[in-house]
Amino acid sequence: MAELSRFIQFNNEQINPRQMLQYEQLSKALSNTPSLQLTERQLIELKPQEQQIAMSVFWRHRSKQITHLGRLSDIYLLSIGFWREFNVRVWLEMEEEFKDHPYKKLIKQLALMIEEFRLMDVVEKKRPGTKQAFETRRKAYIESHKHRFEVNGQKGFIADSFLSYLFLAAHEGMIRLPQSEVADQFEPVLILFQEIYDVRNTTQSIALAVRTVFAIEEYLARDLVLDYYALMDAIPEAAKFHEHKGVTEQACGDKDNAKETIEQLFRTWHRETQEENGVHLRYELERGNAGKALSIEAEEGQEGNQISEEGVGSASDSSGKVFENDSNDIKKLPRTTKQAKKEYGEQNANVIFEEKRIEPAKDFQSLEMLSVWRKEQSPSVKALTAEFRKRMAQKEIAKRDHLTKGRLNASQLMSLVLDEHPKPFYQKNAKSKELDAVFGLLIDGSASMMDKMDETKKAVLLFHDVLRQMKITHEIVSFYEDAYEATAEVQPNTFEWLHKLQDGQKDNGLSIMSLEPHEDNRDGFAIRWMMKQLKNRDEKHRFLLIFSDGEPSAFDYAQNGIKDTAEAVLEAEKYGIQVLHLFLNTDMPSEEQLHLFHTIYGTHTVSANSVEKFTEITIRLLRKLISLVISAE
């Protein structure tokens, strides 16, 4: 993990992960596609292979309302308009026909601009509630294209100026167009371009774009220089593989069965990705090739099977790359790891993970240190447990006294005369009950924890001893990712149990003393893993605590990790698991750091200003949480 004290971002803006999740949920609902992911790129995009749509960064650096409405307009266009109303087959035919045309880029970009204009109107009629978002979109892009028209005209980018000119003509009207020598060249095209108001489908949009470019090409010296739309950039690549039936049927002469819409293309890719993701053999999606078996016990993949485990063979170099020609030397795969798959989140689909108990410390120094720390913490542990037991006793007394039935309390006889609703009865002492709660503690095991490890161990030890004394079931786990072995295809993660739920009141202090830093941390994955341990527990109160010294950091898990972790927190909350975060830091946290953690964990995040305060903050957390449980009993 990169410590947030070294948190330098040249692009310092990050969408609030919780807000991003809301946008993504909206996209999924509008498109009726649960697998759809939302991201942010330079221009709005559709990426079937990744099951992604992208909002544009165009909406940054604006007021909150404009940013929000602008992003909504992107989502409406992508997940309603282009999703169901755009004809993929016609688009691919156009790309093939004009692939060698000198102004092919202008034709494509203009066709998309016309489609955007048409689809905004289509969506607005279907869903009148989108009107405000599209009005905001029009105003913002009108201002942008006015500026682009002038700048590109000055630079001699005539085709670019022409595109902006037509955008203004479509959205602002012919009368209010800019006046200049460059604009004078474009005026003859306006009569033809008025057909944009009568366009009803993708075929007509493309036809109008082609006729418009043909009408102006004598004034053009070169094609478009800049990009204005990236919507269809990934579509030809997604559609060209013969194993994906539908879109590519046109390449085989079967145009009747070719997929017509973006929605169909996304669903085809999602379905085939699920089917081809490999069971015992993995297939390359692009070519449909079967790889060599990695083990003598490998069997042919069957369609209905699921990946249950994944192992690491011995025929690999230091980078983990399998030697294809050494099949005779490949030994039987050890089955010690599990495949995460998408049940742990889209960002963690390629994670494999190992669960193991940490080896308890046995060296004299650890034994001595454990004894010293426990002696130091003994007063705090005793004071806390005594406080909790006293409050529990008071709670029980309150429950047993002033009742409407039971044993008569002689000291309360006067209430029979004086009170309108007398309660002079009490119950005998019942056997005290244990607190109905369970705790799961995740400890960031990344390399940046090295300078905080002793204080972290102290805090974890106190947590363990208090819960043991209170007979509260708990689990303590260190988590980390192997940064050296992580690749795009596989990211190995490890969970080390310091104390398991099944251990009860067992003393695992020596296991806590074995806690060590490793490499990276995949927080969202770890939260989902612990959530799985807790969600089916019978306890009324379930708490998931995470001790961490910074933001999520793992392979291809930067901005994605922040969003994934926030999503994991929300998922846990849906199961009634309260997630609390303790930021372990050696210095005062910055406003930037605090803002980041609030976007991930909401109000359930606490910061320690120095390593010396880790234990103090842990005491405060425990006091607050256990008091909450006692008061709710």
- Closest by Cα among 360, 358, 373 to 462: 373
pLDDT at 387 > cutoff 80? yes
Pick 13 or 580 by higher pLDDT: 580
Mean pLDDT of 530-545: 95
Banded model confidence at residue 324, pLDDT cuts 50, 70, 90: very low
Percent of the chain scoring above 70 in pLDDT? 78
Mean pLDDT of 81-108: 94
Task: Output phi, psi for 480, to 5 deg.
Answer: -165, 160
User: Alpha carbon 478 to chain centroid distance?
Assistant: 21
Q: What is the pLDDT at residue 380?
A: 93
Mean pLDDT of 354-373: 95
Q: What is the pLDDT at residue 278?
A: 43
Which of 1-10, 436-445, 478-487 has the least mean pLDDT? 1-10
pLDDT at 272 > cutoff 80? no
Q: How far apart are the C-alpha atoms of 191 and 193, rounded to whole Å?
A: 5
pLDDT at 627 > cutoff 70? yes
DSSP 337: E
Indicate the helix (H) or strand (E) that contains 373.
helix 364-400
Using one digit for the tens of pLDDT, what is the confidence trace for 278-318?
Answer: 433 333 333 343 334 434 344 444 444 444 444 444 434 43
Q: What is the pLDDT at residue 181?
A: 85
CB atoms within 10 A of CB 139: 15
Pick 581 or 293 by higher pLDDT: 581
Q: Does domain 364-378+434-632 have CATH number 3.40.50.10710?
A: no
Mean pLDDT of 167-173: 94
Mean pLDDT of 116-120: 97
Banded model confidence at residue 374, pLDDT cuts 50, 70, 90: very high
Q: How far apart are the C-alpha atoms of 558 and 352, rounded to whole Å?
A: 19
Amino acid found at 458: K
Using one digit for the tens of pLDDT, what is the confidence trace for 446-488?
Answer: 999 999 999 999 999 999 999 999 999 999 999 999 999 999 9
Banded model confidence at residue 588, pLDDT cuts 50, 70, 90: confident
Residues of the chain with CATH 3.40.50.410: 364-378+434-632
- Name the token pair of 21: 């999740």
Starting at the edge strand that comes first in sequence, how are the strands of the sheet with 541-548 ordered? Answer: 309-310, 337-339, 351-357, 491-499, 473-481, 437-444, 541-548, 577-584, 605-608
- Name the token pair of 228: 């204005």
Mean pLDDT of 312-332: 39
Q: In sequence order, what E strands does 340-472 have?
A: 351-357, 407-408, 425-426, 437-444
Pick 96 or 241 by higher pLDDT: 96
C-alpha distances in Å from residue 40, one per residue of 24, 365, 601, 611: 11, 51, 22, 37
- Closest by Cα among 214, 273, 205 to 238: 273
Pick 596 or 277 by higher pLDDT: 596
CB atoms within 10 A of CB 395: 14
Pick 148 or 242 by higher pLDDT: 148
Which of 80-94, 227-241, 567-581, 612-626 has the least mean pLDDT? 227-241
pLDDT at 140 > cutoff 70? yes
pLDDT at 216 > cutoff 50? yes
Amino acid found at 15: I
Q: How far apart are the C-alpha atoms of 476 and 91, rounded to whole Å?
A: 55
Mean pLDDT of 424-440: 72
